[in-house]
Amino acid sequence: MSKATTKDHIGVTGAGIVGVSTAIRLQRAGYTVTLIDKEGPAAGASYGNGGVLASCASIPVTVPGVIKKAPKLLFSKDGPLFLKYRYLPKLLPWLTKYLSYANTSDLHRIAAAIHGVVGDSLTEHQQLAKGTIAEKWIKPCDYLYMYEDRAAFEEDKIAWDLRESFGIEWTELKDKALGDYDPIFSGKFKYAANLKGHGRINDPGRYINDLATHFVDHGGKIEKSEITGFEIDNGKVQWLETNSGKLSFDQIAICTGAWSGPLAKALGVKVPLESERGYHVELWEPNMMPRATYMDAGGKYVITPMDGRIRLAGIVEFGGLKLEPSKKPFDLLLRNVKKTMPDLTWKHTETWMGHRPAPADSIPVIGRSPKAQNAWFAFGHQHIGLTSGPKTGRILSQMIDGSKSNLDLAQYSPMRFNPD
């Protein structure tokens, strides 16, 4: 299979953090690049994420024991897991496969693969944005996992042991030391693991739009169109079919997040992919601002200080791409923050729900199409898309360029679900 040449014109579909990162990396390697997106940059999950550059976030949801915990997570009033029950029949095949990975051997394999794209997140973002108008949004900061007590931390031992095996370090903050670190909390938390070397994006939407502006200013083009299919001949995509006509490129990259499944199938790859619906609530003009970014380990949501507001983000809901948002996840996020910071007030609230792309095995799909040698994939980053976007863009651009990588790329192969 021939590699791309720097004379090639490459079409990157999807203008979230993965697509924009890929486009910039390819542009810097000397390619002519067009970004194609039905709405434009940062219109989906890349806008609504928690804003955390979480290098520690290599632990999948499917840890051993999660099946036993699922009923409590789902049915408890304060549980962070939600389900649109009318969607359950369609969800079941994916869910069955998803839960099959909740064992020790798969956990270590999956976590290692995820760590490969998240482990140096802050550095990757800084390198991507260096010298652009977007770099002002990157804020190095601590990232604290907050627990009610030391016993609650010990219940997550398997996750912290894995992080330690990847070289992730943290310091303990207990009782008074935690209160001295950030007096904003009421005392609900008695224990925290403080991770250094992390970061946040102060406004994810504006950050990605600024990266896209940099891309355009350096010769890139953005095409607002929705991909509807492909014309494939002689083992290559000859035309992209869109709602506004046909487009032709020498190479294409599919970076369309939760909407990638049908496009991948048309290009010969059947990925079991679902929407891991995520929610956020923004508290604008708060009377106090957290010192760092925090994960409420019990509530499974993050508290992120941003430009002019605090963003509460997290929650997992399964309900597909078409059903309306639920009210209960928004209510839960507000209820949780009122318990955590009872003295917090704010001027107004904004809410969002979006779709995070979840492969059944929790590992991103990065690689070449088996059906069309000039088509590539980079999607499936679940709730770590912002964290892993720049590294994924680097990996995919290296693949297209024919460069070598220090990572074992087979673990991200699009063909792992259908090797025949």
18 & 42 share domain? yes
Asked whether residue 111 is assigned to any structural domain, the reply reads no
Q: Which CATH number characterizes residue 88's domain?
A: 3.30.9.10
Amino acid at 330: F
Confidence of residue 125 (pLDDT cuts 50, 70, 90): very high
Handedness of CA 259, 314, 298, 178 (dihedral sign): positive
288 & 354 share domain? yes
What pLDDT is attached to residue 269? Answer: 95
Asked whether residue 255 is assigned to any structural domain, the reply reads yes
The residue out of 359, 387, 407 marking a domain boundary is 359
81 & 186 share domain? yes
Two structure tokens written together for 386 = 């912002």
What H or E segment, with its residue span, contains residue 416? none
Average model confidence (pLDDT) across the chain: 94
Asked whether residue 75 is assigned to any structural domain, the reply reads yes
- pTM of the predicted structure, to 2 decimals: 0.95
CB of 25 closer than 8 Å to CB of 51: no
Asked whether residue 299 is assigned to any structural domain, the reply reads yes
DSSP assignments along 165-208, one per residue? HTT--EEEEEHHHHHHH-TTS-S---EEEEEEEEEEES-HHHHH
285 & 342 share domain? yes
Asked whether residue 122 is assigned to any structural domain, the reply reads no
Count of the separate structural domains present in the chain: 2
Confidence of residue 419 (pLDDT cuts 50, 70, 90): low
Asked whether residue 119 is assigned to any structural domain, the reply reads no
What is the mean pLDDT of the segment spanning 50-54?
Answer: 96
The residue out of 359, 375, 395 marking a domain boundary is 359
What is the mean pLDDT of the segment spanning 141-150?
Answer: 96
What pLDDT is attached to residue 6? Answer: 63
Shortest CA distance to 57 belongs to which of 305, 297, 413, 355? 297
313 & 351 share domain? yes
Tens-place pLDDT, residues 349-369: 999 999 999 999 999 999 999
Asked whether residue 19 is assigned to any structural domain, the reply reads yes
What is the mean pLDDT of the segment spanning 37-43?
Answer: 94
What is the mean pLDDT of the segment spanning 319-346?
Answer: 95
What pLDDT is attached to residue 388? Answer: 97
CB of 108 closer than 8 Å to CB of 162: yes
* Residues, the chain: 420
145 & 190 share domain? yes
The residue out of 336, 359, 382 marking a domain boundary is 359
- Residue 186: pLDDT above 90? no
285 & 327 share domain? yes
- Residue 233: pLDDT above 80? yes
What pLDDT is attached to residue 5? Answer: 66
How far apart CA 187 and CA 37 sit, in angstroms, is: 45
Confidence of residue 188 (pLDDT cuts 50, 70, 90): confident
Domain that holds residue 326: 58-102+139-200+273-359
What is the mean pLDDT of the segment spanning 241-257?
Answer: 96
Judged by phi (left if over 0) then psi (alpha if -120 to 50, else beta), residue 30 lies in left
CA angle 238, 10, 388 (to 5 degrees): 125
DSSP annotation of 316 reads E
Distance of CA 379 to the CA centre of its chain: 9
What is the mean pLDDT of the segment spanning 88-106?
Answer: 95
- pLDDT top residue among 255 and 298: 255
253 & 391 share domain? yes
368 & 411 share domain? yes
What pLDDT is attached to residue 420? Answer: 60
How far apart CA 266 and CA 280 sit, in angstroms, is: 33
Confidence of residue 66 (pLDDT cuts 50, 70, 90): confident
% residues pLDDT > 90 (the chain): 89
Confidence of residue 24 (pLDDT cuts 50, 70, 90): very high
The backbone torsions φ and ψ at residue 159, rounded to the nearest 5 degrees and listed phi first, read -70, -40
187 & 211 share domain? no
What pLDDT is attached to residue 7? Answer: 78
What H or E segment, with its residue span, contains residue 407? none
Q: For the chain, what percentages of helix, strand and coil (3-state, to nearest 5) are there?
A: 35, 30, 35
How far apart CA 254 and CA 12 sit, in angstroms, is: 6
What is the mean pLDDT of the segment spanning 292-298?
Answer: 95
- Residue 187: pLDDT above 80? no
How far apart CA 297 and CA 148 sit, in angstroms, is: 9
Two structure tokens written together for 94 = 């994916």
Confidence of residue 3 (pLDDT cuts 50, 70, 90): low
64 three-class SS = coil
327 & 254 share domain? no
98 & 212 share domain? no
What pLDDT is attached to residue 76? Answer: 81
What is the mean pLDDT of the segment spanning 194-198?
Answer: 95
The CA-to-CA distance between both ends of the chain, in Å, stands at 19
Asked whether residue 109 is assigned to any structural domain, the reply reads no
Q: Which CATH number characterizes residue 24's domain?
A: 3.50.50.60
